[in-house]
Chains A and B, each alone.
Chain A
């Protein structure tokens, strides 16, 4: 996923390589479930891919297996949630958000039950397996459905915080992430100094709030507004740009809906250019949400959406696909220079 140059930039920025957000999710959910027997995971033969085998072993009564049947998975998750369970439906995002879209729309969002849907290995995490296994549509289709909080955490910290929030939610939630090891983007968080001597949970409470952008790095020449596991690439690009005299702000838009319009407008007003980054189709995702927000507020700023274009997705591993479409430190730094020439 990361070139030697990117790795050395991460080191320079003091970013530590953590585990996959998927692993962080599974560990967090299990520790929450050990303390609350109402927490239930629902899997569609996906406990292995969801890293929930240890959960199933430790808490067999809190894991419901439905077989390879995603429609049933979502309906059952809704029914459990309607009867007081803190139900997490866990399935690859590609299947969960396409095959069972109607169940998400009606059984969970329209019925307004506090169910949590976890789209594992989202985006192009399954890179080489091909488009059947990609979810480049999930943010777009789910954004168009009323009454759903949509979250794509950047790193282990945001994943943990999102799962903790989900375990307390009173409204429908969708969380998607990948399975590659992630750098800890939060160690650069602006309130880092406040973190000294505080427990991890306290840090979570203080610096993470569903629906609120986290500004991971300040800067006024250009703003990267990124979501999910593209945030790290924006952060590294900002590091590289700093050495080239460009100060880049990095926003982690971990919550795609509800949308933190104020942070986007602030970035659009204070920076000379805006680049959005997402592991998703160019259509209907974070980029278009930002564009609509800026345009409707009359904020005109050189703007570029870095995402997967509307074409047969290039074949290869996730890292290949990212690199091909410029979702990389190098690609984003280059996009920044190009865009700033117009500013």
Chain B
């Protein structure tokens, strides 16, 4: 159940390869959440390769760490990370979004490695509260993680959960914000401003850590160091929507834009260069 040892270098290389796999997957499926998938991929990469005490073999262990992806629309990033970790064969991903495939465009428990069905926003955090409460009741050692989008924070259920998590002193609960500052309509600050997020979550009684969501050392430290006793942990991971592909970075249309063949080729070439850079 121990995470496999992996260096920052290896993680960076793996991330570029996973980004390639994710883009090919989205092109093949003809649909997907490209920008957000790229922005949260490093977070997932660190979670599944360094932090979460879960593996294909231990997925039914009641003491495994739980991960619930509240921003379920970025399922393609989760699919490629889970396939890479051996939860299911990579070839399964050829069926994503196809007729009668169990690999639909949001996470479901029919897929090995996925804890809960998500996709409607504002659901992951309350579910994780329930899981964390169960862990506390049983004095079980597991931690519970969820990934939220910044646009998603406009859903009021998040704030119900924010209040309750601190009230119940759930220091086994970690909410990670994929803070890419964009959502489908444009900049989150223009759609529904939510800053200052650190002060808000602190005021709700959470331990707040603000980090670079593409920096493996910062991610690892923030995700592994326990919060003060009795405090749930909110990690503001500052990320770039479209990260890793220069022409997609911070460009709103890539929220759920599907690359053309030429765009895919350009993106893969850029990511090839990244892989090459980290292999020397």
Q: Which residues of B contact A102 (CB under 8 A)?
A: 120, 123
Answer whether residue A162 sits at the interface, using C-beta atoms and an 8 A cutoff.
Answer: no
Answer whether residue B137 sits at the interface, using C-beta atoms and an 8 A cutoff.
Answer: yes
In the bound complex, what is the Cα–Cα distance between A78 and B68 (angstroms)?
A: 12
Answer whether residue B186 sits at the interface, using C-beta atoms and an 8 A cutoff.
Answer: no
Knowing A72-B161, A78-B127, A79-B127, the reply to whether A106 touches B133 (Cβ < 8 A) is no
Chain A interface main SS type: helix
Q: Nearest Cβ in chain B — how far from A287, in angstroms?
A: 31
Q: Nearest Cβ in chain B — how far from A52, in angstroms?
A: 17
Q: Which bracket fits the contact residues of A?
A: 20 to 34
In the bound complex, what is the Cα–Cα distance between A297 and B108 (angstroms)?
A: 36
Binary contact track A233-257/B, C-beta < 8 Å → 1, others 0: 0000000000000000000000000
Q: Nearest Cβ in chain A — how far from B73, in angstroms?
A: 13
Q: Quick one: closest B residue to A42, CB to CB?
A: B130
B143-163: which residues lie under 8 A (CB-CB) from chain A? 156-157, 160-161, 163
Q: Nearest Cβ in chain A — how far from B271, in angstroms?
A: 34
Beta-carbon contact of A103 and B164 below 8 Å: no
In the bound complex, what is the Cα–Cα distance between A83 and B122 (angstroms)?
A: 20
In the bound complex, what is the Cα–Cα distance between A110 and B109 (angstroms)?
A: 9
Which of B108, B123, B167 is A75 in contact with, Cβ under 8 Å?
B123
Beta-carbon contact of B131 and A67 below 8 Å: no
Q: Which of A74, A83, A103, A107 has the most CB of B within 10 A?
A: A83
Answer whether residue A17 sits at the interface, using C-beta atoms and an 8 A cutoff.
Answer: no
Beta-carbon contact of B157 and A79 below 8 Å: no
Q: Which bracket fits the contact residues of B?
A: 20 to 34
Q: Which residues of B contact A82 (CB under 8 A)?
A: 115-116, 127, 130-131
Q: Which residues of B contact A40 (CB under 8 A)?
A: 137
Beta-carbon contact of B164 and A67 below 8 Å: yes
Knowing A103-B123, A110-B117, A112-B109, the reply to whether A80 touches B130 (Cβ < 8 A) is yes
Which of A64, A67, A81, A106 is B117 in contact with, Cβ under 8 Å?
A106
In the bound complex, what is the Cα–Cα distance between A228 and B127 (angstroms)?
A: 31
In the bound complex, what is the Cα–Cα distance between A24 and B118 (angstroms)?
A: 35
Binary contact track B127-145/A, C-beta < 8 Å → 1, others 0: 1111111110110000000
Q: Nearest Cβ in chain A — how far from B279, in angstroms?
A: 41
Q: Which residues of A contact B133 (CB under 8 A)?
A: 64, 76, 79-80
Knowing A79-B127, A83-B130, the reply to whether A72 touches B135 (Cβ < 8 A) is no
Q: Nearest Cβ in chain B — how far from A339, in angstroms?
A: 44
Q: Quick one: closest A residue to B134, CB to CB?
A: A83
Knowing A76-B164, A103-B123, the reply to whether A111 touches B130 (Cβ < 8 A) is no
Beta-carbon contact of B157 and A75 below 8 Å: yes
In the bound complex, what is the Cα–Cα distance between A93 and B59 (angstroms)?
A: 35
Answer whether residue A66 sits at the interface, using C-beta atoms and an 8 A cutoff.
Answer: yes
Q: Which residues of A contact B252 (CB under 8 A)?
A: none
Beta-carbon contact of A71 and B130 below 8 Å: no
Q: Nearest Cβ in chain A — how far from B69, in angstroms?
A: 13
Q: Which residues of A contact B119 (CB under 8 A)?
A: 106
Q: Which residues of B contact A113 (CB under 8 A)?
A: 116
Beta-carbon contact of A71 and B134 below 8 Å: no
In the bound complex, what is the Cα–Cα distance between A13 and B156 (angstroms)?
A: 52
In the bound complex, what is the Cα–Cα distance between A112 and B132 (angstroms)?
A: 19
Q: Nearest Cβ in chain B — how far from A101, in angstroms?
A: 11
Which of B62, B127, B132, B157 is A84 in contact with, Cβ under 8 Å?
B62
Knowing A61-B137, A83-B62, the reply to whether A103 touches B126 (Cβ < 8 A) is yes
In the bound complex, what is the Cα–Cα distance between A78 and B126 (angstroms)?
A: 9
Answer whether residue A85 sits at the interface, using C-beta atoms and an 8 A cutoff.
Answer: yes
Q: Nearest Cβ in chain B — how far from A178, in angstroms?
A: 27
In the bound complex, what is the Cα–Cα distance between A75 and B121 (angstroms)?
A: 12
Which of A64, A71, A81, A87 is B160 in contact with, Cβ under 8 Å?
A71
Beta-carbon contact of B129 and A85 below 8 Å: no
Answer whether residue A135 sits at the interface, using C-beta atoms and an 8 A cutoff.
Answer: no
Answer whether residue A263 sits at the interface, using C-beta atoms and an 8 A cutoff.
Answer: no
Q: Which residues of B contact A62 (CB under 8 A)?
A: 137
A residues touching B (Cβ–Cβ < 8 Å)? 40, 61-62, 64, 66-67, 69, 71-72, 74-85, 87, 102-103, 106-107, 110-113
3 residue pairs, one from A and one from B, having the closest CB atoms: A79-B130, A75-B126, A83-B134
B residues touching A (Cβ–Cβ < 8 Å)? 62, 66, 108-109, 115-120, 122-123, 125-135, 137-138, 156-157, 160-161, 163-164, 167-168
